[in-house]
Structure 1
Amino acid sequence: MRPSGGVLSGPAGTLLHYRRTRLRNPATEASRKAAVEDDAADVPEDTRDHWLDEVTSDEEQHRRGMLARIINTFAVPYLWFRRVFVFLVTTPGKLVGISVILSMAIFAAGYSMSQSSSERQSELDVLLTTTEPMSYAAHNLYTSLSLADTIATTGFVQAGVESAGTRARYSAAIDRAMVSATESAAGISFSDRDTLQLIADIERKIPVYTGLVETARMNNRIGNPVGVAYMAEASSLMRDDILPAAARLFNLTSSDVRDQQSRLTRPQWVPLSGLLAAVLFLVVAQWLLWRMTRRRLNRGFLVATALMLIAIAWVSASNFGTWQAGTRGFEEASMPWDSLTASRIQAQQARTSETLALVRRQSVADSNVSFEATTEAVTVALDDFEQAEGHNPNASGTNRTQIAEARASLADWEAAHRRFTDAMNNGNYPEAVRLATTTTLVPGSPATSAAAYDRLDGALSRLIADARSSMRAFISDGLAATQLVSTAVLLLSVLAIIAVWIGMRPRLQEYL
């Protein structure tokens, strides 16, 4: 019921009075809100009830997300690192750490030496099967071209048509030169453009030379004097253009052989120092182990040290053998090889000059000067070969016989050349032709220039072949010294690692 005056009574009036009083009393409402906020402050942020979602910036969310990812990323590694560090500061941890460090050092040293020895063995094999044969092909090219020019000039002097034997020797020399040029090019990489261009120039000029020789022969058969001019032009082309290019090719390939041989026979200082460092680590580790366990010697560590010392001794012996065979021996063999080749070419050119003087019927004064230089060069080359043979314990009596034959032939050639010069100066042309072209020896008569030269050239050719065999033998000895080094060092290193862990095992069991 509503009483008079609009005032309610009973419960309804009481509720209305409470609401009006609450609205009319701001202090009470403020205190209530403060109490609610205090209660909410005690509740975690992610469990509060909100009338509206709080708005946060994207930058703040990104910052919190990056921090969380960083923490999540490094939390587990940090935990593992902390556990490992805590373990390593203990005595068992120190023992395990020493074993791991030793294992890594030994394996690194052994693997490095194994790889270095394997690469050296492979490169020595390439030197023996590719580089040296390429140099020998360049040598054959050089000597064959010079020999062809000498034979062609000598055959041109012979009366009438040259003999079938002379023609066959000339053709064989040209064929051998062309084959040797191809073999030389086969062993050269495509990046070496200069050397390939050098070979191409030689191959392009050889047909020009043979064409001039054939033209000279044709004019000589029909009695045309212009044949002399063609032969002189052919010989000039050979000696001024083709032979210098062939000599340059021979020098380049010979230098490659010497450089590779010198580089591959040096001691392996860096890998060897790694093995020495591994032994030093083993000694230091045994001292640390004695300090921690009060036991002076560890069998496993002693075995590992012995294995590494065996590896060092093996590698040192291999390096010494390679150096002995590849450096000293190779140098002793390569010196006469180069000097004999140069002197043989010089002798062939002197023989050509001698014959050309006969063809042109000119003064032999210039040829005498070159002849004296040639005889001196041949004498020096024979001395070099004889000296190298004196240092070679495997020197054979055959080489000494060939040296004696070469010296005798050189003396006969000098005597025959003096008679040839006298005949030319006195105008005795038939005698000069006989001395320059006759190769048969009449019993009781002195040797002709042609016969003495043929004997000298044959002796020099055999000595060059022996020198090359000696060089290849020294290279083979260097290659043999590297056999099994790679596998043996790696195997010894693995066994040393196993010995380290076996030796450490009893010490670790004391703490289990």
Structure 2
Amino acid sequence: MPPVTAFEADRWMDSDEHPTGRGRSFRGLMNPALEAPRRFLRFARTSPGLLSIISTILVLAILAAGGAMVYSSENRQSQLNTLVTRTEPLSDAAQELFNSLSVADSVATTSFLRKSTSDTATKDYDAAMTSASSAIIRATSGIDDIESREMALVLQIQNSLPDYLQLMSKAQTHDRLRNPVGASYLTQASTLMQNTMLPAARELYSRTSEEVSAQQAKLSAPLWFPLSGIVAAIIMLVIAQFWLAALTNRRLNIGYVAATGLMLFALVWASTSAALTWHAGNQNVQGTVRPLEQLTAVRISVQQSRTQEALGLIQRDYGKDRQQKFSDSMADIDSKLEALRKQVSHPERIDTAREALRSWDESHARMVSELQNGRYTEALAAALDTKVKKDPNGKGIQDGRGPGDPGEDTSDYTIVDDEMQELISSIRAELRDILVESRSAAGRVTNLVLALTVLSALCVIGGTRPRLQEFL
């Protein structure tokens, strides 16, 4: 047997009596983690532990309710900002395009009857076409989806505009040369405007206006989910106060009472603001968006009636069908103006427009009578609301407008159109003010609710701390 060396004699000190030492080390690391739930449960069974847990839950519930309200309010404020900066300006551009095209066609057609005022008529026509071109650019920049129906309508108008300008340019050239063919070009241009461009502009305006109405109605709906969160936080605070009173034999906890009061104030403020916004939103749709649509439609009808009247006079063809169509249009415009009287903030403008409309209808009847009797000069004077004097031979001579500049159009039609334009501008300004105020109101609700919820959470912490100290 070989001798045992000193090295081999000490090997027992290096032997591993626990082959699972690594496993024991792992359990040693895991034991605190496994023990933590048990310690927490033991802590939760004590009064300080239960009080700490409940106060933590209350703080989280209050902050969650406030955070939900703040998030929803900021989201609504962002949507209102989009409505103010993009949707409403797009609708405004569509409305301006609709009006400008109609005005351009009406001015261009009427200018053929005003041989002595071609310069003024040309300026009005150029101004209307410039406004229409600017509105097309604004509408195009406000549409995000190039595949949308709105973009297709804008492109349709944009593509038809050069053809209209070309036809109208030929009509004006031949009119200056006193060539009868100018009336034919004028009729073609007006037909293109009435049958293609104006219907597209009308649909574009209708779509954008409906979008404004839909967004405004949506943004005026109450924020039910955040409001329910605040209600839930208040209920939890009340229950916690009863529990705390039973635990500590004290009826009131100043911190919890203050937190409940702050949350109640936040609930009342947010609820009142939501109710007022919802009511105001419905009133605004009734008082601005819809009257604006109706006034725009009435103004276009007025301008189209003027265009048809001028075309009939230029073509010297005013049969029963055309006269009946004009009479129906006048009756329809008058009934719509009467219905709008109670919906606008300036009903006196409606009264002025209706009075001028009746006077225009009477002038039109005189025009038709004179035209049917072969007295074209007198018919022209009746249509343009000018004075007529007789020459020695008994023929009518157009004598301008008397005291005013012959180039100034102060006819009954112009009065009606001006009143409609003023009403539209006034309601548009009201709509803009309402939208801006709604955006500001949403910001005020956000800031106040955020401040109240943070203070309420601090009050809960402040009310819990003295009770915890009693157990230490």
**TM-score, structure 1 as length reference:** 0.80
Within 5 Å, give how 1:34-433 maps onto structure 2. 46-47=16-17, 75-159=31-115, 163-190=118-145, 193-389=148-344, 395=345, 399-433=346-380
Distance 1:256 1:249, change over 3 A: same
State how far apart, in whole Å, the 1-side matches of 2:238 and 2:285 are: 40
One-letter amino acid matched to 1:497: A
How much does 1:123 deviate? 2.0
**How far, CA to CA, are the matches of 2:174 and 2:402 in structure 1?**
33
Mark the CA change 1:400 to 1:492 in structure 2 (over 3 Å): closer, same or farther.
same
| Helix, strand or coil at the partner of 1:157 | coil
> What is the CA deviation profile of residues 376-414 of structure 1, one whole-angstrom value per residue up to 9, with x for unaligned ones?
33323423432124xxxxx4xxx2432221111011011
Give the C-alpha shift of residue 450 in structure 1: 7.7
| Residues 462 and 72 of structure 1: CA distance in aligned 2, closer, same or farther (over 3 Å) | farther
Matches of 1:81 and 1:208, distance apart in 2: 82
Aligned to 1:481: 441
Q: Structure 1 residues 93 and 166 mapped into 2: Cα distance closer, same or farther (>3 Å)? A: same
Q: Which of residues 454, 459, 466 is equivalent to 2:419?
A: 459
Asked if the contact 1:340/1:378 (under 8 Å) is kept, the reply is no
Output the amino acid matched with 1:410: L
- Post-superposition Cα deviations, 1:78-131, rounded to whole Å, max 9, x if no partner, equal 221221111111111110110011011000000110111122222223322332
Deviation at 1:265, TM superposition (A): 0.8
1:416 partner amino acid: S
Indicate how the Cα distance of structure 1 residues 188 and 132 shifts in structure 2: closer, same or farther if over 3 A, else same: same
- Secondary structure of the corresponding residue to residue 482 of structure 1: helix
The alpha-carbon deviation at position 73 of structure 1 amounts to 7.9
Secondary structure of 2:194 counterpart: helix
Correspondence for 1:392: none
Quote the residue 2:394 is aligned against: none
Which of the two has higher C-alpha Rg?
1
Does structure 2 retain, via aligned residues, the 8 Å contact 1:326–1:478?
A: no
RMSD between aligned residues: 2.7
CA deviations 1:9-47 (Å, max 9, x no partner) are xxxxxxxxxxxxxxxxxxxxxxxxxxxxxxxxxxxx943
Distance 1:70 1:227, change over 3 A: farther
Amino acid at match of 1:220: D
In structure 2, distance between residues paired with 1:71 and 1:226: 105
User: What displacement does 1:460 show?
Assistant: 1.1
Q: Measure the CA separation in 1 of the matches of 2:26 and 2:74.
A: 46
How far apart, in 2, do the equivalents of 1:196 and 1:91 lie? 68
- Match of 2:432, as an amino acid? R
SS of 1:47 mapped into structure 2: coil
- Cα 1:115–1:68 shift into 2, 3 Å: farther
Q: For residue 308 of structure 1, report the CA deviation from its aligned partner.
A: 0.2
Asked if the contact 2:164/2:192 (under 8 Å) is kept, the reply is yes
Partners of 2:205 and 2:321 in 1: CA distance: 27
Once the 2 structures are TM-superposed, how far is the Cα of residue 418 of structure 1 from its aligned partner?
Answer: 1.1
Q: C-alpha displacement at 1:286, in angstroms?
A: 1.1
How far, CA to CA, are the matches of 1:194 and 1:334 in structure 2? 21
AA partner of residue 503 (structure 1): G
CA pair 426-75 structure 1, distance change in 2 beyond 3 A = farther
SS at match of 1:323: helix
Partner of 2:397: none
CA contact (8 A) 1:276 1:312 kept: yes
Q: Which moved more, 1:195-204 or 1:295-304?
A: 195-204
Percent identity, aligned pairs only, is 37
Partner SS, residue 112 of structure 2: helix
Q: Secondary structure at the match of 1:266?
A: coil
The CA deviation at 1:186 is 1.7
Q: Report Cα offsets for 1:197-222 as digits up to 9, x if no partner.
A: 22122112111101100111222233
Structure 2: give runs of 5+ residues left out of the alignment.
Answer: 1-14, 387-399, 404-408
Report the equivalent of 1:29.
none
Alpha-carbon distance between aligned partners in 1 of 2:437 and 2:341, rounded to the nearest angstrom: 22
Contact persistence 1:300–1:502 (CA under 8 A): yes
Matched residue of 1:340: which SS? helix
Which of 436, 440, 456 pairs up with 1:496?
A: 456
The number of aligned residues is: 443
Deviation at 1:441, TM superposition (A): 4.6
| CA drift at 1:192 | 5.3
CA distance in 2, matches of 1:192, 1:502: 59
Instruction: Answer whether contact 2:209 2:289 (CA < 8 A) is retained.
Output: no
Q: Determine if contact 1:424/1:432 at 8 Å carries over to the other structure.
A: yes
User: Please, which runs of 5 or more residues in structure 1 have no aligned partner?
Assistant: 1-44, 50-60, 390-394, 444-448
Q: Which moved more, 1:69-78 or 1:258-267?
A: 69-78
In 2: Cα distance, 1:343 partner to 1:450 partner: 20
Match of 2:395 in 1: none
Q: Which one of 424, 428, 435 corresponds to residue 382 of structure 2?
A: 435
By how many angstroms is 1:454 displaced? 1.0
Q: Give the stretch that moved more between structures: 217-226 or 279-288.
A: 217-226
Q: Check whether the contact 1:322–1:478 (CA below 8 A) recurs between aligned residues.
A: yes
User: How far, CA to CA, are the matches of 1:465 and 1:164 in structure 2?
Assistant: 27
CA distance in 2, matches of 1:155, 1:302: 78
> Residue 33 of structure 1 corresponds to which residue in structure 2?
none
3-state SS in 2 of match to 1:484: helix
